[in-house]
Amino acid sequence: MRAGARTEPKDGREGGFLASTAGVVTLALVATFLWGSAFPCIKIGYRLFSIPADDTASQMLFAGARFVLAGLGVIGAMSLVRRRPLVARREDARCVLVLSLFQTTLQYALFYLGLGHASGVTSSIIEATNTFFCILIAALVFRLERLTARKLAGCAVGFAGVALVTLSQGSGGLSFSLAGEGAVLASTLAAATSSSLIQIFSHEGHDPVTLSGWQFLVGGLTLSAIGLAGGGSLSPSGPASVALLLYLAFISAAAYSLWSLLLANNPVSRVSVFGFCNPVFGAILSTLLLDEGGIVSPAVLLCSLALASAGIVIVNTRRPARRTRAAR
C-alpha cells in the first residue's frame, strides 16, 4: 500500500475484538494506564540508579536499557507463544529501522534533550498535543482517514482535561525556546508520525508485534550508544532498581504492542484520542506513588478525567447511517 492511499476503517466483524468498541476501550485503557505508570516509575528509577536530573546522557542510557529489555521481552515472549523464533524478515528491515527512528530514538532523544531546557508545565502540555498531531498527520500527510469537525472537537475537549491537570500543578510558567520546548515539540511530532507508520506497515502485510519488538531493540541500542558516548552511566542500588527497570521494560513492551495492534485494526483517530488519558493516569499514580497529593486536588483529577473521557466519546461516536429512500 502506498503512503498516499486512503485506507478504509475496519469494522468489528473484520477486525474482531481488536476493532470492536469493547476491544478498543479495554486495550487502549490498559495501554494508557501502563504508560501513565511510567511517569512516577521513571522518577523513582532515577533515584534508584543515582541519575541526576540534569544528566541527560545517563537518562538516555537508562531509556536505552529499558527499550533493549522491552525488545528482548517482546521477541522472547512471542517466540514462545507462536512456537517459533520471532525473527524480522528481510522485507521488515526497512520498517523496523524507520519505526525505531521515529518511535524510540528521535522521540526519546529529543524529549530528554528538550526537557533539560524546558518548563515542566509547557512540556506536559506540548506532550499532550500528540493526539492532535496523530490525527492531523494521519489525515493530511498520509491520507489514512478524513479530518472532521467531530474529531477536532473531541481532541479539543480531551486536551482541555490535560491542560487542566497540568496547569493546576503550578510547576513553572509557560515558556518556549527552540532548545527546550522546541525539542519536546519535535519529539511529539516523531511519536505522532510513528502512529501512522505502524498502520501503513501493517496494511502492507508486516506483523505489528514483530515490528514492535525489533524496533524497540534497535532503538534501545541506539539510545544506549548515544548515552555511553555522552559519558552516561548507571549505578543500580540493589534488587529494587533491577525490578523497576524490568517493570519499565514490561510497560513499553506490553503497552506499545497493544497500541500497535489497535492501530493496525482501527483508524488512527479512534485509538490515538485515548492518549489524553496518559497524563491523567500519570498524575493520579504520581499522587499515590510519589506522595505528591498536594500538587493536584482530587476534584481537578476527576474533572480532567471526565474531560478526557468526553473527548474520547466524541471522537468515537459514529453518525447513524442514513436511511436509503425506499424504491418506488
Q: Which domain holds residue 59?
A: 14-316
Span 207-257, pLDDT tens digits: 999 999 999 999 999 999 999 999 999 999 889 999 999 999 999 999 999
Question: pLDDT higher for 84 or 166?
Answer: 84
Give 256-265 pLDDT, tens digit per residue. 999 999 999 9
Per-residue pLDDT at 268 exceeds 80? yes
In whole angstroms, what is the distance from residue 46 CA to residue 24 CA?
33
pLDDT tens by residue, 31-57: 999 998 988 898 899 999 999 888 999
The reply to whether 1 falls in a domain is no
- Domain contains 6: no
pLDDT exceeds cutoff 70 at 174? no
Determine the pLDDT at residue 266. Answer: 93
Half-sphere exposure of 273 (CA within 13 A, CB side): 27
- Indicate whether 6 pLDDT > 50: no
Say if residues 135 and 196 touch (Cβ distance below 8 Å).
no
Higher pLDDT, 198 or 323: 198
User: Cell 503550578 maps to which residue?
Assistant: 170
Work out the pLDDT band at 126, boundaries 50, 70, 90: confident
pLDDT at 326: 44
CB-facing half-sphere around the CA of 222: CA atoms within 13 A: 20
What pLDDT does 296 receive?
62
Residue 327 lies in a domain: no
What pTM was computed for the model? Answer: 0.83
Lowest mean pLDDT among 51-60, 148-157, 288-297: 288-297
Residue 255's pLDDT is what? 94
> Is 322 a domain residue?
no
Confidence band, pLDDT 50/70/90 cuts, at residue 162: confident
83 sits in the region (left: phi over 0; alpha: psi -120 to 50; else beta) called left
Percent of the chain at pLDDT > 90 equals 50
The number of folded domains in the chain is: 1
Confidence of residue 14 (pLDDT cuts 50, 70, 90): very low
| Confidence bin at 169 (pLDDT 50/70/90) | low
Say what the alpha-carbon torsion angle 126, 60, 217, 123 is, to the nearest 10 degrees. -10
The pLDDT assigned to 7 comes to 43
Residue 324 lies in a domain: no
Report the pLDDT value the prediction gives residue 12, as an integer from 0 to 100. 42
Q: What is the mean pLDDT of residues 81-100?
A: 94
Measured between alpha carbons, how far is residue 281 from residues 143, 155, 169 in Å? 31, 17, 14
Mean pLDDT of the residues in the chain: 84
Q: How confident is the model at residue 2 (pLDDT cuts 50, 70, 90)?
A: very low
Domain contains 2 = no
pLDDT value, residue 315: 84
Q: Is 246 part of a structural domain of the chain?
A: yes
Rg (CA), the chain: 20
10, pLDDT greater than 60:
no
Look at residue 321 and tell me if it is in a domain.
Answer: no
